[in-house]
Amino acid sequence: MTLPAFQTGDFTASFQIEDRPIRGRAVRMGAGSLTPILARHDYPENLARILGEAVALAALVGSSLKFDGRILVQAEGDGPVRMLVGEYTTNGGVRGYARYDEEAWANLDRLNKGKPPHMPQLFGRAGRLGLILLQDNPNLQPYQGIVPLNKGTLAQCAEDYYSMSEQVPSRIRLSVEPTEGGDWICGGMMIQRIAGDETRGDTQEAWREAEALFATLTPAELSDPGLPMTDLLFRLFHEQGVRLEDSRAVDDRCTCNEERLLQTLRGMPEESLRDLVEPDGTLAIDCQFCNRHYVLPIESVTGPAN
């Protein structure tokens, strides 16, 4: 197997099972990407895991995009977690945040006795998962696909998305764990069936075989910092042959900036903005993702007051 440039760091990569109609992608994130995202907000441990999974899922899906832009994995509902967002930009940057009700979360944690909650517990019966594609080209409209959050895990709900919205049989595994050194590490893997044609013939049998092997993958293997992704893939698919390729570094990188913030604020009603003005005539805005603090004169948004 070819050794990828980032196999021991924070990276995404595609892989190919030799002579099989299966495409796959893998992700590993840790100190350079996931740790600062989760440490910034001091989330409860099980919530941090779910947010880490959303960021990993965004990287898995986004690393296959053929355009410049970004993808948001956005889960929302009326449960203890109101919104959770993982984002991947095609330059390799990731970010994420969660908004939740602390009291409702504490009640859920007591009910589950500390065990990880399932999706309906987190987001309520109306919970939904959206995958939103945003191209850098301003003339192109965003694309959004939505599925219910009615399965046990985020990965299972994402599989439903591919089945319902893309009609592509897919299997996804995600694992996020804290380390003894205070970092977080996550691993993710996805395989997808390529449709049969005159050249490939029927791909169903090869897909069933790949599914069976993929089902042996454990969360501990995915998030083991001492297990290189090349070795893990070899464990799974060594009889068929597998190679890891097209790797790309991933890092903690927020896309917020003053210009983008000004554009957003200028789209708000002036009366609403005036209600937010500090006594010194400024607007104080915090980025929900990176906690960066912006202080903007109200005139920079609305123009001079009459």
Domain locations along the chain:
11-252, 258-302
Q: Quick one: tokens of 103? A: 């009291």
Q: Quick one: tokens of 14? A: 């595609």
Q: What percent of the chain has pLDDT over 70?
A: 94
Please write the tens of the pLDDT for every residue from 87-139.
999 999 999 999 999 999 999 999 999 899 999 999 998 999 999 999 998 88
Of the pLDDT bands very low, low, confident and very high (cuts 50, 70, 90), residue 196 is low
CATH number for the domain running over 258-302: 3.90.1280.10
- Look at residue 199 and tell me whether its pLDDT is greater than 90: no
Q: Which of 53-62, 129-138, 253-262 has the highest mean pLDDT?
A: 53-62
Do residues 10 and 250 lie in contact, with contact meaning Cβ atoms separated by under 8 Å?
yes
Task: Please identify which residue in the block is written with the tokens 């897909």.
Answer: 207
Q: What is the pLDDT of residue 303?
A: 63
Please write the tens of the pLDDT for every residue from 213-257.
999 999 999 999 889 999 999 999 988 889 888 789 999 998 887
User: What CATH class does 11-252 carry?
Assistant: alpha beta
C-alpha count within 13 angstroms, C-beta hemisphere, residue 266: 11
Give the predicted TM-score (pTM) of the model.
0.87
Q: Mean pLDDT score of the chain, rounded to an integer?
A: 88
- Look at residue 270 and tell me whether its pLDDT is greater than 80: no
SS3 202: coil
Helix (H) or strand (E) holding 24: strand 22-29
Q: What is the pLDDT of residue 203?
A: 78
Q: Determine the Cα–Cα distance for residues 163 and 231; give it in Å rounded to an integer.
A: 29
Of the pLDDT bands very low, low, confident and very high (cuts 50, 70, 90), residue 3 is very low
